[in-house]
Amino acid sequence: MRNWFQFPIREGNTSRQAHCDMPEGTFEREIGKEGFFGPATHMYHRHPPTGWSGWEGPLRPRAFDTNKLQQPGHSPWDATPLLHNTHLRVRIWNCNQSMNHLVRNGDGDECLFVHKGRGQLFCDYGQMRFGEGDYIILPRSTSWRLEIEQPLTLLMIEATHGSYMHADRGLVGRHALFDPAMLEYPCLDDAFKAQSRQPGEWQVLLKAREQMNRITFPFNPLDAEGWTGDLTVVKLNWRDIRPLMSHRYHLPPSAHTTFVANGFVICTFVPRPIESDPGALKVPFYHNNDDFDEVIFYHQGNFFSRDNIDAGMITLHPCGFTHGPHPKAFAAGASHTRTETDEVAVMIDSRLPLEVAELPDGVENIDYVDSWKVKP
């Protein structure tokens, strides 16, 4: 158990309550430990904490347009790597052709988020249909393949040497955010049985220790006659998530945690009412989340805290500097011009720093660091 230095301190002109009723003409900045769960201090500044006029050095906010990625191949192992560390690998896979082989990830659980398209998943546990907005959690070393009905774009998040689990629901109970009854799993239905009996040779491409292995079977290894247990592939659509809300207090991103893994969490931002209390902050607060790197994949909608960000883009805010809403978004929140959000986004908070893979020219917006500058 960690025993932080914690005792109440107040200096100067402050709000009595975080994220509410800020002193006139000030901008609040949260400095915290362990994401939003450790000790924290709220600073009140005369100027926006992101109001830099210049930036030099490699540690900077970054943005990537995955719509500009072109990928050959029809296997998830052809996916373009984006970000990685020892706990986590993030890739984007565009696919328009059904797989003629099986794959198996021996390095960790895999999370697929379906940004575009639909199809069928065939795996050790059976068959399951999927479509836009679905999360699919594949336990480590599951054999699987996809049959494509509409061209796919998938965000792939590998829990390297780890597992995906439920987030702790705490006081709100196990049915909050989403009822576990909404989780779907593959079935040994007629479609699965029909494909299992097709004659011929099948290959399984096994990724293990970041090396590829090819295993050949003289039959289809997806041939289960039955199974029983509590380990399986699960599916959840973002539309089945019912977010925690407060009309008087802007909740931190951790309140929207969907899955927990070793060394990182996945949060889902879905449409919700915007805070209506006159004194409550109505956009994400400026913060130094100095123990986590923050990654956001923008799926659809109007991304109310960001400017010039489109669906299919990814931002990376590494720990070590203040980040928060863009100037226009902050101004819109202060004037309460909107009463609800319509954005859908996937956020990854990583405990260890993330490395950026080498990407083709034009994918990264190198001017993103300047997007917080106030235009004269």
Residues annotated within the binding site are: 287, 293, 323
**Binding-site sequence positions for Fe cation:** 287, 293, 323
> Under a CB-based contact definition with an 8 Å cutoff, are residues 334 and 282 in contact?
yes
Sign of CA dihedral 191, 197, 201, 207: positive
**Selected catalytic residue, list 84, 87, 115, 250:** 250
Q: CA torsion 357→309→45→36, rounded to 10°?
A: -60
Query: Cβ-count burial of 145 within 10 angstroms (0-12 exposed, 13-18 middle, 19+ buried)?
Result: buried
Clarify whether 250 is annotated catalytic: yes
Which residues fall in the annotated binding site for homogentisate?
323
* Phi–psi pair at 242, nearest 5 degrees: -115, 100
| Residues taking part in catalysis | 250
